[in-house]
């Protein structure tokens, strides 16, 4: 077509651009040119490869249908209106606004008679959603965009509405993602379910939930192999008097997470500033993040915290630093991005997707252990190199199971079954490799050890000891070095990532972002988490945490509080200051609850 491949695409004539993207009837090498976009569309439809589909998905984006403009219905359906609104416009309302809309309908007597039952059901269901603190969600919100806590509360509202009696409900941490104000509503809903004649078993670490319970079962005394015993079972009043329970000691304030004696000064250093944040419900706000501080972003559920921190701050920095393809939320500019070298999200996603990934490999301590084994006289005589002690490469591993220690048996119409390898008996290595021992322990026995046990074994090897000490400091002394990543909880995975970050050389230009890191953590674990986060800041980094836990909030140097409510009535900055300054605020719901905690000291 007579153009040069050295010319920038944007400088090519429009007809050439169109031909490259959408194809041309002109024959090239004996056939018409398909065009880049039709080629990708065809591949996407025809391929059975999930990897290829994922790769092509990077070039796809969702846009409203040009015919119905995203309304999903034909114009005939949309022409039916009640009080001037069609069904699409009603579902675009927030739950609170929808409740007001249906409460204030002006109907004739005939219309009331026809719609009475439907209206009663609609108002009842909307009221249940309001009761569990979801009044800010719009009715047409896609379920895939709901947080775990929001989805759980919708299911709760459904159950209360069903009016069932004699049901056993099991809830795992329903307080996740909830501000104390919303948690109060949740507890009222749980009590309503109980009062109907149901039983509720709740797995929870939240203090308000524990105090509201009729009966408490406390497990311990420690975690992992140090746990699994019933320390206490009885009423909450009896728990508060129990001497053995670690939970009781925190509830009595016998043990507590101390408020820092001195907070870092945040108004004299350098700032990262986001200008004109207006994604979702954010009201065109400017937000300053003081660098070298422990920053907490707070506010009621749905106030815009994740939008600000994850959609704008993280994606905006990732785009500038790493040329990330992920589009950030709407904002005008970032000031101070030149002061940042790295931005790292430390989330609760698994440290690996397969049983081969484990704490030892993730933190890098396994490389040090393998080097040590390769230097042992027995290994040197046999010519074993560090790779001999890896279950990922041929040589030292058991080839019958390729170092997995287990074999997968595929079952028709049933889930796959995993059985121990009958050759190595689950040890992963061949006999010759297992004969090399350090202080009487083979490489397989070392992987079976807990962090605490391994610290004793390698007490004289500083490089191994230091890595293990970091895992111990974040409260993971009980996990096994070779424990498969798939068996670790979200909180455990997150703390392994934190220990790996602590082991790296300090850099003052790193921002760490954590979204509700206290999920799944007991008071004692929260104390260890706060200690680790403070250590990261002491190394010169900046830590930004989205959190509702008051023990974390009170430990921060600087708080950015969003609100006043969730949804459309949120997205404004209520305060940006130290915890002591925040409690003076009369507008902030966070201040109301934080006041009680800070005044305890």
539 token code pair: 């190394």
Q: May I ask the CATH class of domain 9-57?
A: mainly alpha
User: CB count, 10 Å around CB of 137?
Assistant: 22
For the stretch 214-249, pLDDT in tens is: 999 999 998 888 899 999 999 999 999 999 999 999
Two tokens, residue 380: 């040197």
User: 556 and 579 in contact (C-beta within 8 Å)?
Assistant: yes
How far is residue 120's CA from residue 305's CA, in Å, rounded to a whole number? Answer: 35
The strand pair at 168-172 and 558-563 is best described as unpaired
Please write the tens of the pLDDT for every residue from 443-486: 999 999 999 999 999 999 999 999 999 999 888 999 999 999 98
- Environment class of residue 138 by beta-carbon count within 10 Å: exposed (0-12), middle (13-18) or buried (19+)? middle
Q: Which of 513, 509, 530, 512 is nearest to 521 (CA)?
A: 530
State the Cα angle at 526 between 521 and 527, rounded to 5°: 150
Q: Is 334 left (phi over 0), alpha (psi -120 to 50) or beta?
A: beta
Of how many residues is the chain composed?
Answer: 601
For residue 129, give the H/E element and its range.
helix 109-131
Q: Name the CA dihedral angle for 45, 50, 55, 56, rounded to a multiple of 10 degrees.
A: 10
Predicted pLDDT of residue 443: 97
Predicted TM-score (pTM) of the model is 0.84
User: Phi, psi at residue 169, to the nearest 5°?
Assistant: -100, 135
Paired with 484 in beta bridges are none
CATH code of 271-350+488-598, in short, is 3.40.50.300
Rounded to 5°, angle at Cα 410 from 407 and 412: 160
Instruction: Return the H-helix or E-strand segment holding 473.
Output: helix 462-473
- Report the pLDDT value the prediction gives residue 360, as an integer from 0 to 100: 96
- The answer to whether 550 and 256 have CB atoms below 8 angstroms apart is no
Query: Does domain 145-251 bear CATH number 3.40.50.300?
Result: yes
Query: C-alpha angle with apex 445: 440 to 447, nearest 5 degrees?
Result: 135
Question: What CA–CA distance (Å, rounded) separates 194 from 188?
Answer: 10
DSSP 8-state symbol, 350: -
CATH node for 359-485: 1.20.1580.10
Q: Phi/psi class of residue 188: alpha, beta or left (left: φ > 0; alpha: ψ in -120 to 50)?
A: alpha
Determine which helix (DSSP H) or strand (DSSP E) holds 276, and give its type and residue range.
strand 271-277
Give backbone dihedrals phi and psi of 289, rounded to 5 degrees, phi first. Answer: -115, 105
CB-based burial of residue 422 (10 Å sphere; 0-12 exposed, 13-18 middle, 19+ buried)? exposed
588, 572 in Cβ contact below 8 A?
A: no
Pairing of strands 285-290, 271-277: antiparallel
Rounded CA separation 235/238 (Å): 5
CA–CA distance, 341 with 325 (Å, rounded to integer): 18
Regions of the chain short of the pLDDT cut 70:
506, 601
CB-based contacts of 27: which residues, under 8 Å, 6+ apart? none
Same fold, 75-131 and 271-350+488-598: no
Residue 378: its H or E element: helix 377-382
pLDDT of residue 354: 80
C-alpha to C-alpha distance for 354 and 487, rounded to whole angstroms: 10
Number of helices and strands in the chain (H, E): 26, 17
How many CA within 13 A on the CB side of residue 235?
Answer: 2
Domain 75-131: state its class. mainly alpha
- Domain ranges in the chain are 9-57, 75-131, 145-251, 271-350+488-598, 359-485
Query: Taking Cα atoms as reference points, which of 506, 514, 587, 502 lies closest to residue 546?
Result: 514
């Amino acid at each position: 077509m007579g153009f040069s491949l050295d010319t920038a695409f944007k400088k090519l004539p429009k007809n050439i651009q169109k031909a490259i993207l959408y194809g041309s009837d002109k024959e090239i090498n004996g056939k018409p040119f398909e065009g880049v976009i039709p080629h990708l569309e065809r591949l996407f439809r025809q391929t059975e490869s999930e990897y290829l589909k994922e790769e092509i998905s990077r070039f796809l984006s969702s846009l409203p249908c040009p015919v119905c403009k995203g309304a999903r219905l034909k114009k005939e359906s949309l022409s039916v209106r009640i009080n001037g609104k069609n069904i699409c416009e009603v579902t675009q309302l927030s739950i609170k606004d929808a409740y007001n809309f249906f409460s204030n309908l002006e109907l004739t007597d005939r219309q009331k008679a026809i719609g009475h039952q439907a209206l009663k059901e609609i108002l009842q269901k909307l009221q249940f959603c309001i009761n569990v603190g979801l009044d800010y969600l719009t009715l047409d919100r896609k379920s895939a965009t709901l947080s775990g806590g929001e989805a759980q509360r919708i299911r709760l509202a459904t159950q209360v509405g069903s009016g069932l009696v004699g049901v056993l409900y099991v809830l795992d941490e329903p307080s996740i993602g909830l501000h104390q104000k919303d948690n109060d509503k949740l507890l009222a809903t749980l009590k309503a379910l109980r009062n109907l004649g149901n039983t509720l078993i709740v797995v929870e670490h939240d203090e308000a939930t524990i105090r509201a319970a009729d009966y408490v079962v406390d497990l311990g005394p420690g975690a992992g192999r140090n746990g699994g015993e019933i320390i206490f079972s009885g009423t909450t009043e009896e728990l508060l008097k129990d001497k053995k329970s670690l939970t009781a000691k925190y509830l009595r304030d016998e043990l507590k997470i101390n408020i820092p004696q001195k907070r870092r000064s945040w108004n004299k250093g350098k700032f990262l500033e986001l200008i004109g944040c207006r994604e979702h419900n954010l009201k065109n706000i400017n937000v300053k993040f003081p660098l070298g501080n422990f920053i907490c972003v707070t506010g009621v559920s749905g106030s815009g915290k994740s939008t600000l921190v994850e959609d704008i701050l993280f994606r905006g920095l990732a785009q500038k630093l790493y040329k990330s393809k992920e589009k950030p939320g709407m904002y005008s500019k970032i000031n101070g991005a030149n002061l940042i070298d790295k931005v790292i999200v430390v989330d609760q996603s698994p440290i690996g997707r397969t049983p081969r990934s484990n704490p030892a490999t993730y933190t890098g301590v396994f490389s040090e252990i393998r080097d040590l084994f390769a230097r042992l006289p027995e290994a040197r005589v046999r010519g074993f190199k560090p790779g001999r002690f890896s279950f990922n490469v041929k040589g030292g591993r058991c080839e019958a199971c390729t170092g997995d220690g287990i074999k997968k048996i595929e079952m028709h119409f049933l889930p796959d079954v995993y059985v121990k390898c009958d050759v190595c008996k689950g040890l992963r290595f061949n006999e010759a490799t297992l004969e090399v021992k350090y202080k009487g322990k083979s490489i397989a026995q070392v992987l079976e050890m807990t962090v605490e046990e391994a610290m004793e074994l390698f007490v004289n090897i500083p490089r191994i000891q230091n890595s293990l000490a970091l895992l111990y400091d974040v409260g993971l002394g009980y996990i096994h070095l070779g424990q498969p990543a798939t068996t670790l909880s979200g909180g455990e995975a997150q703390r392994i990532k934190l220990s790996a970050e602590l082991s790296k050389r300090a850099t003052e230009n790193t921002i760490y972002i954590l979204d509700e890191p206290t999920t799944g953590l007991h008071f004692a674990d929260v104390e260890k988490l706060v200690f680790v986060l403070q250590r990261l800041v002491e190394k010169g980094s900046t830590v930004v945490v989205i959190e509702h836990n008051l023990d974390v909030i009170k430990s921060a140097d600087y708080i950015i509080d969003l609100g006043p409510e969730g949804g459309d009535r949120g997205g404004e900055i209520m305060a940006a200051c130290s915890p002591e300054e925040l409690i003076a605020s009369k507008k902030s719901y966070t201040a109301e609850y934080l006041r009680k905690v800070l005044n305890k000291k």
